[in-house]
Amino acid sequence: MRRRRFLHGLTATAGAPLLTAAAPHAARADDRAGPGRWRAGPPTLTPDDIRFPTRSRALRYGRPDEVGLIGDEVARIVDEAEAFLSPGPGRPAPSFPGFVLLAARDGVIVAHEARGHAVRYSGWDEATATPVELPRDAWVPMARDTIFDLASVSKLFTATVATRLAERGALDLDAPVAATLPEFAAADPAKAPITARQLLVHRSGLVAWLNLWSLPDNEARLAAIHASPLAREPGSGYAYSDLNLIVLGTLVERLTGHPLDTLVAEWVTGPLGMADTRYNPPPELLPRIAATEYQPATGRGMVRGSAHDENAWAFGGVAGHAGLFSTAADLAILGQLLADGGQYAGTRLLATDTVRQVLTDHNADIGASPRGLGWQVDQRSYMDALCSPVTAGHTGYTGTSITVDPVERTVFVLLTNRVHPTRTRGTDSVYRRRPARAFARSFPVRPVSGLTAWRAGAADGATATLTTPVRGLTGEGRVAFRLWYDTEPDHDIGAFEASGDGGASWAPVPLALRSGDWRWETDGTFHGWSGRRWAHATATVPAGTTQLRWTYRTDPDHQGRGVLVDAIRVTRGHRLLLADERPADAARFVADGWTATER
């Protein structure tokens, strides 16, 4: 029987709600005009809208079609990641030597692959800015069970310990940290109001970084944090800082009387069966561990098996912000826990209400980087087309990342050793976005009518147009079609446009849209998240219109799942002028960057 040797009196049944948490998003009072009436605006999605499963099973391997995914697109996930093993456009060197990825939906692992090398280099030549390779027979291939330094993904485990303590009333997220750690504010009373919640969402005002590893001991390192001047008033702004989670780790240690590695092992990894996740892995695991960076400045040479982050290493390899090692399969368990509302394979670790708090953007009031309790939310910079208002995840400096969509119960883990042998490689998260996009595109969107629908292309920095002539509009006409869109808000823009001069000039046509009980209007453009479901679109086009077109313009970086149109009909009065299901009318469409697709 596993020991429960600490936190006496705090081991109440898992599932109690956070006692002092801020209220989650609630429906606005004016969203619904009354029973059975419509709601204004495009569909929204909050953590309250998520329907978590009543049961959670252990992750298992299966086929994409078992969970409704397109197999060809799933196969592209590893292809997209593999491209970054070599130089390419905008990257004169590979982004990383190797990677392991895992993609799952509804608890079914549909992709789990390893490519490249866990160890390839012995050093880095500063004079020539080139890597120093090991003899080829010393290269270590990447394997599906390769163990990676998680770097900042470690923060999720510290956060999980903190939220579990909050559920049990042992930690008040909104109480001053200094009430438990008086030394935290002793040197600087301005720190006195800082709360654990502010640490979790990076609104404490602490500076972004301090060089702690060169200090003589942990007492001096913590003293340096305590004495550092604030960058801003607590709560007033956002700035990502490792110091937040270092302090939080110290706080939970003080509250429980036990070190952080013990708390993580007995309160997170142990109950979930994450046998390969730990701080300071023992020497016998070294053959399975991916190397990280060549660090002559720390006197360690090529780092392998100890924390890459210098500050975490100086803390003895155990710190609130970094230091954990894990595998893709283990990390997927943590992701599935979130996707399943706080439970995994019969073990409930967090209450469903707590998970909704974890997924809530606690920085919405200041318009800053969306942050849940420890987790990032709605971060398109690496989630790309997997992004939704409640998609959660985190990245790590060594090249690690996890993305979880609790609505579609997807988990995507990408672990790379991008800092091997130097941190100057793989600095752009495009290597995270591209395989995430392939995974997102594996979700089919079925046509509304007929066998196919029109789908805009997925190219970055491109404009796609779908154009058709229209005849007989001697008076005002009505256009009706079905529209599906999921794009990067404000940057990737779809539009419905009309021309009265044969295409020499175009103007957007205002749209009225409805989806379920939501109703909204636009100036003819559309972007953002519309619920990932078909909407009814209608428009009035002026007399004399000769052509109609649908456009989709993308910027060079992030994307969503794209734009589709279907069931297009143009009428004047009771007369049907165009219907895309009629073969003769369908043949008149000119597609540039659009394709007729069955899914």
In this prediction, the residues of the chain whose per-residue pLDDT falls under 70 are 1-36
Return d(Cα 360, Cα 350) in angstroms, integer: 15
Cβ atoms of residues 284 and 214 within 8 Å: no
- The closest alpha carbon to 399, from 96, 163, 127, belongs to 96
Q: State residue 253 phi and psi, 5-degree precision.
A: -65, -45
Q: CA-CA distance, 21 to 590, in Å (whole number)?
A: 54
User: How many residues comprise the chain?
Assistant: 599
HEC-encoded secondary structure of 76-135: HHHHHHHHHHCCECCECCCCCCEEEEEEEECCEEEEEEEEEEEECEEEEECCCCEEEECC
Q: Are strands 392-396 and 400-405 parallel, antiparallel or unpaired?
A: antiparallel
Tens digits of residue pLDDT in 178-228: 999 999 999 999 999 999 999 999 999 999 999 999 999 999 999 999 999
Please report the domains of the chain, with CATH numbers, ordered by start residue: 59-153+273-441 (3.40.710.10), 453-597 (2.60.120)
pLDDT at 36: 55
C-beta separation of 275 from 330 below 8 A: yes
Q: How far apart are CA 201 and CA 238, in angstroms?
A: 8
pLDDT of residue 314: 97
Is 574 exposed, middle or buried, given 0-12, 13-18 or 19+ CB atoms closer than 10 A? exposed
Element (H, E) at 324: strand 324-326
CA-closest candidate to residue 413, choices 99, 190, 202? 99
CA distances to 143, 287, 301, 456, 520 from 420, rounded to whole Å, are: 16, 16, 12, 38, 50
The one-letter code for the residue type at 340 is: D
pLDDT value, residue 367: 93
Paired with 483 in beta bridges are: 535, 565
pLDDT digits (tens, 9 = 90+) for 128-167: 999 999 999 999 999 999 999 999 999 999 999 999 999 9
Task: Give the three-state DSSP class for 284.
Answer: helix
Q: Taking the model in full, what pTM does it have? A: 0.93
Contact 114, 121 (CB under 8 A): no
For residue 67, give every residue at least 6 positions away whose Cβ sits within 8 Å of its Cβ, in sequence order, or none. Answer: 105, 106, 108, 110
Contact present, 416 and 96 (Cβ < 8 Å): yes
